[in-house]
């Protein structure tokens, strides 16, 4: 298939997202964006055996230093970052090093944070290998690690040199991981693209069957949606906050369950349904739209039922340390219908409490 390009226009920090099948090992996608001789390839023990050698084919003549981390959200921590810095300094790697993030959202977030901090900033390239990372976390320059008190609380805005999304990597994803990524895809439809939401309703079967044309459309449309928002508000001072639809609830679920039992997209998917329910309780979302949202999430393989994995009290505690808390008030991204999300800090506490009680245990 023809390679699709989605540009991110951020003046001197601009870059392209490249979308195609089989480009991970193509040196033309990499070498013009690498300044020095040294490469730090950060991956994990699941992705590394599948794609690290293919990546190295795209880096001829380069000194490639490999860091293979354990898999899982629980390893996106300052302790892991310190281990990576130890390896970089032991080599040593100089200021011309380029960090290449080969993996999903955890690897991308952590690698970007490492690149932002090492010797006050070195270049990095995102090579996302999961649906979630291809449509969301690799795009826009958010880098971070987790803290025991909250998700992504320690990080930086730091843009990559390029994003290379190889569709063929999605064929090695476990179905649960693919479904996790679908939460972020559905999110774009709910925020400001009702036509895309309707397209997903009509084509969800082809997407879940990994039809290549459907996947290419999903990734391109998602990246275009995110590009428009990031270009307008790179550092999340305004409209970019809309990209957090479902994340206030979702991050609280992840924090309450210890960054592991629930995948990020699973927590965000249920979080979006909770946001829809909270909006419905305030008369902003009709029952028919709520049912459409729930049905699409279900067809994407995402959780939509109440869970015993956390309590309403757990979620309230987690929300207190959310990055969207302002002057002690938790802000939510809520909806006035499909494709009409907005930032809300003036909401009915009763609606929030009822939502928590409906979806959590006790």
From the list 251, 277, 324, 331, the catalytic residue is 251
Please confirm, yes or no, whether 251 is among the known catalytic residues: yes
Burial 221-255 (b: 16+ CB within 10 A, else e): bbbbbbbebbbebbebeebbbbbbbbbbbbbbbbb
Please confirm, yes or no, whether 87 is among the known catalytic residues: no
Please confirm, yes or no, whether 120 is among the known catalytic residues: yes
DSSP summary character for residue 140: S
Please confirm, yes or no, whether 146 is among the known catalytic residues: no
- Among positive and negative, which fits the CA dihedral 115, 116, 120, 125? positive
Q: How far lies 341's CA from each of 60, 142, 232, 337, in Å?
A: 46, 21, 16, 7
From the list 151, 187, 240, 277, the catalytic residue is 240
From the list 187, 244, 323, 331, the catalytic residue is 244
From the list 62, 75, 217, 226, the catalytic residue is 226
Please confirm, yes or no, whether 236 is among the known catalytic residues: yes
From the list 29, 234, 236, 254, the catalytic residue is 236
Helix residue ranges per DSSP H, 172-305: 175-192, 194-208, 212-232, 247-257, 264-281, 287-299
The residue among 135, 153, 134 whose CA lies nearest residue 143 is 153
Here the tokens at position 224 are 């275009």
Please confirm, yes or no, whether 147 is among the known catalytic residues: no
- Inter-residue contact 332 to 281 (CB < 8 Å): no
Q: At a CB cut-off of 8 Å and minimum separation 6, what does 28 contact?
A: none
Please confirm, yes or no, whether 226 is among the known catalytic residues: yes
Q: At a CB cut-off of 8 Å and minimum separation 6, what does 49 contact?
A: none
From the list 264, 277, 323, 331, the catalytic residue is 264
From the list 187, 217, 247, 277, the catalytic residue is 247
From the list 184, 234, 254, 266, the catalytic residue is 184
Here the tokens at position 311 are 């309590």
Here the tokens at position 193 are 């693209």
From the list 12, 120, 202, 305, the catalytic residue is 120
Please confirm, yes or no, whether 18 is among the known catalytic residues: no
From the list 75, 76, 142, 162, the catalytic residue is 142
Distance from C-alpha of 56 to C-alpha of 303, rounded to nearest angstrom? 38
Q: At a CB cut-off of 8 Å and minimum separation 6, what does 208 contact?
A: 178, 182, 299, 300, 301
Radius of gyration of the chain (CA): 20
Q: Which residues are catalytic?
A: 120, 142, 184, 226, 236, 240, 244, 247, 251, 264
């Amino acid at each position: 298939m023809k390679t699709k390009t989605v540009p991110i226009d951020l003046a001197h920090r601009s870059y392209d997202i490249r979308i195609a099948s089989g480009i991970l090992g193509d040196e033309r996608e990499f070498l013009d964006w690498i300044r020095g001789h040294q490469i730090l390839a950060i991956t994990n023990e699941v992705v590394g055996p599948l794609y690290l050698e293919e990546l190295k084919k795209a880096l001829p003549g380069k000194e490639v230093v490999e860091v293979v981390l354990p898999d899982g959200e629980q390893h996106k921590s300052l302790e892991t970052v310190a281990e990576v810095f130890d390896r970089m300094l032991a080599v040593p790697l100089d200021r011309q090093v380029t960090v290449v993030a080969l993996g999903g959202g955890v690897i991308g977030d952590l690698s970007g944070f490492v690149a932002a901090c090492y010797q006050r900033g070195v270049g990095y390239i995102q090579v996302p290998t999961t649906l979630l990372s291809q449509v969301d976390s690799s795009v826009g320059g958010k880098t971070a690690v987790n803290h025991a008190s909250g998700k992504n609380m320690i990080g930086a805005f730091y843009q990559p040199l390029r994003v290379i999304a190889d569709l063929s990597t999605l064929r090695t994803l476990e179905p649960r991981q693919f479904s996790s990524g679908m939460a972020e895809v559905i999110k774009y439809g709910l925020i400001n693209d009702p036509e895309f939401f309707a397209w997903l309703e009509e084509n969800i079967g082809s997407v879940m069957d990994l039809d290549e044309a459907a996947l290419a459309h999903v990734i391109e449309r998602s990246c275009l949606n995110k590009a428009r928002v990031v270009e307008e508000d790179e550092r999340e001072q305004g409209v970019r906050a809309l990209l957090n639809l479902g994340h206030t609830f979702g991050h609280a679920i992840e924090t309450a369950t210890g960054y592991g039992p629930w995948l990020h997209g699973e927590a965000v998917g249920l979080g979006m349904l909770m946001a829809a329910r909270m909006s419905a309780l305030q008369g902003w979302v009709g029952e028919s739209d709520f049912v459409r949202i729930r049905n699409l999430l279900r067809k994407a393989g995402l959780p939509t039922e109440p869970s015993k994995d956390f309590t309403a009290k757990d979620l309230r505690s987690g929300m207190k340390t959310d990055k969207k808390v302002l002057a002690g008030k938790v802000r939510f991204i809520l909806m006035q219908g499909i494709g009409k999300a907005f930032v809300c800090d003036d909401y009915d506490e009763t609606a929030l409490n009822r939502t928590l009680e409906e979806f959590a245990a006790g």
